[in-house]
Amino acid sequence: MRRFENKTVVVTGSGRDKGLGQAILQRFADEGANCVVSDLGAPAQHMGAGDIGTTAEMEKIASELRQRGAKVATIPCDVRSEQSCEALAQKAVEAFGSLDIWVNNAGIGYIMKPLLETTASEWDAVLGVNLSGAFFGTKAAARVMIKQGRGGRIINIASQAAKSGFPHMAPYTSSKHGMVGLTRSTAIELGTHGITVNAVCPNHVTTGLGAKQNEYFSKLLGFPSVEAYIENMKRKNPLGRPGFASDTAAACAWLASDDAVYVTGESLNVSGGEEMH
């Protein structure tokens, strides 16, 4: 199917090889969309080269998407800046003539510490990217979509941590719970413009970020190895496995499609039945 022919999708935080954002763009590329790869491009506070999509990684992902037949632009963006998000939206329109789908995917999930050891700057870093970034991105996308006058789709990549608490991840869990509230409020406000806003809440997905979480929590919970920790995750899941990046990508594609035209304000669990509320 090429459901998104002549439509443009922006995915923030999509510049890391084998990351969730890359998988989302691959799905949209395969269905005909014009794709905007966007990431920070260069290290910043609490975000080293291994934690963000570098300019070189963004170009590599863009090249791979072009091999799938998509038209692609790479546009750096610091989602902590409202001005940077506004520029990303405008440059997407300049590149392809429209902005139809915006996915707030950029996130920090690698700061894992006990509550009493978590610093104010670490809290600010996580909330700044995960929640403020989604806030600024939603505003930037909505302004363009309202001006275009034909509606649009905004999708927030939340988490199972948007529904349940997790130890040693107070900033992350708080940011993802906040994203659900942002989704609901903006869905109400933007519905009159034909813009739907929804969130996707995946359970654990072993991307590069997920691998760091595996290592941390396997030690925290006393498992003899990362492999034993992953096997335990499989046993707890009704469908018998952790999530794949493609599972989240498929949910995004459905929410962006005409089949989901009457769905807004929802926070969709994509967890193999691990999360049911």
**Rounded mean pLDDT of 136-151?**
98
The whole-model pTM stands at: 0.96
The catalytic position among 7, 91, 163, 172 is 172
What six digits make up the tokens of 190?
Answer: 């933007």
CA 22 to chain centroid: 10
C-beta separation of 55 from 107 below 8 A: no
pLDDT at 112 over 70: yes
Helix (H) or strand (E) holding 202: strand 195-202
CA 43 to chain centroid: 19
**Rounded mean pLDDT of 81-104?**
98
Which CATH number, 3.30.450.40, 3.40.50.720, 3.40.1190.20, 3.40.718.10, labels domain 8-204+244-267? Answer: 3.40.50.720
Confidence of residue 25 (pLDDT cuts 50, 70, 90): very high
Residue 210 or residue 20, greater confidence: 20
Measured at the alpha carbon of residue 230, what is the angle toward residues 224 and 235, in degrees to the nearest 5? 110
Burial class (CB in 10 A: 0-12, 13-18, 19+), 46: middle
For tokens 């794709």, name the residue.
35
Contacts of 117 (CB under 8 A, 6+ apart): none
Contacts of 120 (CB under 8 A, 6+ apart): none
Quick one: pLDDT at residue 208?
A: 61
Q: What is the pLDDT of residues 166-195, one digit of tens each?
A: 999 999 999 999 999 999 999 999 999 999
SS3 content of the chain, % helix, strand, coil (to 5): 50, 15, 35
Confidence of residue 64 (pLDDT cuts 50, 70, 90): very high
So where are the chain's domains?
8-204+244-267, 206-242
Q: What is the DSSP letter of 100?
A: -
pLDDT at 234 over 70: yes
Q: Tell me if residue 176 is catalytic.
A: yes
pLDDT at 77 over 70: yes
Q: Which of 42-51, 78-87, 247-256 has the lowest mean pLDDT?
A: 42-51
Q: In what order do the strands lie in the sheet with 72-74?
A: 72-74, 34-37, 8-11, 101-104, 152-157, 195-202, 267-270
At 205, the amino acid letter reads V
Confidence of residue 209 (pLDDT cuts 50, 70, 90): low
CA dist list (Å): 199 to 184, 209, 262, 264, 269: 9, 20, 14, 9, 9
The catalytic position among 110, 163, 176, 229 is 176
Q: Tell me if residue 60 is catalytic.
A: no
